[in-house]
Structure 1
Amino acid sequence: MNAEIDRQLHHRTIRAFTTQEIPATTIDTLVDVARHTATSEFLQAFSVISITDPQLKTAIAQISKQPYVANNGHLFIFIADQHRNAIIGAEMNQPENKVGGANKFLAALADATLAVQNTVVAAESMGLGAVVLGSILNDAQQIIDLLHLPELTFPVLGLAIGYPDQEPQYKPRLPKKFMHFENGYQLPEPIVPQLKAYDAEVHDYYDLREANRRVDTFTNQVKRSLLNVPEKRAQLLTILHQQGFLIEDDH
């Protein structure tokens, strides 16, 4: 055990930030951390956009349905980006490419996601809190329009950081036996009865965090999520195609 592992084992999502301004040097450092993330084939197929325009932050907060996105702190949007590599190829007299295929999209998606996590770890080591925002995909097309994203790019995750103005409890995680296997997938079944103690732990977590609101269990959350696809998220595949992604490699 060391300080870094202890920090990661006690990670908490922070959704409330103080009004303390984050120095520009800190933002630059975090961007440098993102830039130095491991990357598939060294293609560095992601980009990071800092959102500094208050009106733009408000618009993204409305898409996310998370008001805290517009309040204080700093907002990053991480982009899967094969556009840059396509342009490089065209300028080097290689106009044809397969960067819209599933292989290259998944590589760009992984690059962007890894960069987000590296940035979170770095931010927390500097005394900042962070919240990762998958909710920007509530309206991916509007994000694309707001940020003027070209073909062969796609918004993956948002990341809001700032100085914490809350101390939330640690959210309990699934027991290891449901997530870590050896030499193959070995999920213990039946699952639900074996999750009874974990459900109780999650129920207590929500009860303590939000005593005046509905409490919940993990298995109930999973059950509800199985058919829950917000209307505009159902359009994601179409939008990916419009952005030039997930095009069959032999087309």
Structure 2
Amino acid sequence: MIKNTMIDNQVTHKTIRAFKNQNLTKEQVVTLVEVARHTSSSMFMQQFSIIHLTDEKKRMYVRKISGQNYVGANGDLFIFIVDLHRNQSIRRQLGEDDGRLHKTDIFLQGVEDTVLAVQNMVNAAASMGLGAVILGSINNKPKELLNVLELPKMTFPILGLQVGVADQMPQLKPRLPLDAIFFENEYQEINIGDLEEYDKIVQTYYDLRDSNRRIDSFTKQVSSKKLGTKETKRDELLKTLHDQELCLE
């Protein structure tokens, strides 16, 4: 495998969940947002926006929604939003109707733009010696989040991102074997027996990380309640998208 500084940072990436009690400088924030702003964009529609959440009350609400005590605590919190409202407003001001903006296809293009921007900011943060954690947990209660952020129709928060000075040194989390995710020309079905060695590695990783909290192998996690049939507030996602006038067709 080719080695360079950028590749080394990416293949040794560690999620940071504990940050020192200091905020980013204005220069650091501007640099991170500029990197996100220059992310590749589907059809050049640039269908995302970022909210830098500095209001302590709103950060507290997002923490409660996420159910994770480090969210909105130390470091800086960014909320990445699929934003079709801006282009809707532009079209209407130019005397055009909404066109395809309410279709699922366009929403997914906005999701692509937004997620790519998140990852670009994570990479930039790492290059600056900062830690970061991507927060899918902000959508544990999607309707509440929309209210907290006071978002207009045709927008939807996809991911949060917390960035700051790391206050922990976690282990590198083991990933699936290459041949389990990378194929030539056609999809290959997984054989659970081929993951036996990987399961042992994952179990050892968790045992070393927290010997008092038993967490089983990867395959047992997949078969656990994580992907079970229990109902959660996240089951409201599609209805919430429809309420936001997104994914209507």
TM bucket normalised to smaller: over 0.9
Specify the code of the residue in structure 2 equivalent to 1:192. Answer: I
Tell me which residue corresponds to 1:213.
213
**Mapped contact 2:72–2:162 kept (Cα < 8 A):** no
Which residue of 134, 137, 153 corresponds with 1:135? 137
- Equivalent residue in structure 2 for 1:51, among 34, 47, 53: 53
Deviation at 1:230?
Answer: 4.7
SS in 2 for 1:77: strand
Residue 161 of structure 2 corresponds to which residue in structure 1?
Answer: 159
**After superposition, what is the alpha-carbon deviation per residue over 1:25-50, rounded to whole angstroms, capped at 9, x for unaligned?**
10011111110000000000000000
Aligned partner of 2:79 in structure 1 is 77
Following superposition, the deviation at residue 176 of structure 1 comes to: 0.7
The amino acid that maps onto 1:140 is P
Report the Cα distance in structure 2 between the residues aligned to 1:22 and 1:42, rounded to whole angstroms: 30
1:96 CA displacement:
3.4
Inter-CA distance 96–68: structure 2 relative to 1 (3 Å threshold): closer
User: Which residues in structure 2 correspond to 1:73-112 (within 5 Å)?
Assistant: 73-112=75-114
Contact 1:60 1:136 in 2 (8 A): yes
> Residue 197 of structure 1 aligns with which residue?
197
Amino acid across the alignment from 2:245: G
Provide the C-alpha distance between the structure 2 equivalents of 1:42 and 1:196, rounded to a whole number of angstroms. Answer: 44
- Secondary structure of 2:52's match? strand
Q: Which residue of 2 aligns with 1:173?
A: 175
Looking at structure 2, the residues matched to 59 and 164 of structure 1 have their Cα atoms a distance apart, in angstroms, of: 23
- Alpha-carbon shift at residue 182 of structure 1 (Å): 1.0
Structure 2 unpaired stretches of 5+? none
1:2 aligns with 2:38: no
- List gaps (5 residues or longer) in structure 1: none
SS in 1 for 2:169: coil
Count of aligned residue pairs for this structure pair: 246
**Separation in 2, partners of 1:180, 1:171:** 19
Structure 1: how far apart are the matches of 2:72 and 2:35? Answer: 24
Aligned residue type for 1:87: S
Q: Tell me, yes or no, if the aligned pair for 1:40 and 1:111 is still in contact at 8 Å.
A: yes
- Given that 1:169 and 1:209 are in contact with CA atoms closer than 8 Å, whether structure 2 keeps it comes out as yes
Task: After TM superposition, give the deviation of residue 215 of structure 1 in Å.
Answer: 2.2
8 Å Cα contact 2:10-2:123 kept in structure 1: yes
Q: Counterpart in 2 of 1:117?
A: 119
Instruction: Give the aligned partner of residue 241 of structure 1.
Output: 242
CA distance in 2, matches of 1:30, 1:230: 36
Contact between 1:138 and 1:230, CA under 8 Å: does it hold in 2? no
What residue is the counterpart of 1:222 in the other structure?
A: 222
Give the match's secondary structure for 2:213: coil
The structure 1 residue matched to 2:37, chosen from 24, 35, 38, is 35
Closer/same/farther in 2, CA of residues 155 and 168 from structure 1, 3 Å limit: same
Distance in 2 of aligned mates of 1:56 and 1:89:
31
CA distance in 2, matches of 1:50, 1:131: 15
TM-score scaled to structure 2, two decimals? 0.96
Moved over 4 A (4+): none
1:152 corresponds to which letter in structure 2? M
Structure 1 residue aligned with 2:148: 146
Q: Distance in 2 between matches of 1:96 and 1:19?
A: 45
The residue type equivalent to 2:107 in the other structure is F
TM-score normalised by the chain length of structure 1? 0.96
- Counterpart Cα distance in 1 of 2:150 and 2:140: 17
Q: Secondary structure at the match of 1:68?
A: coil
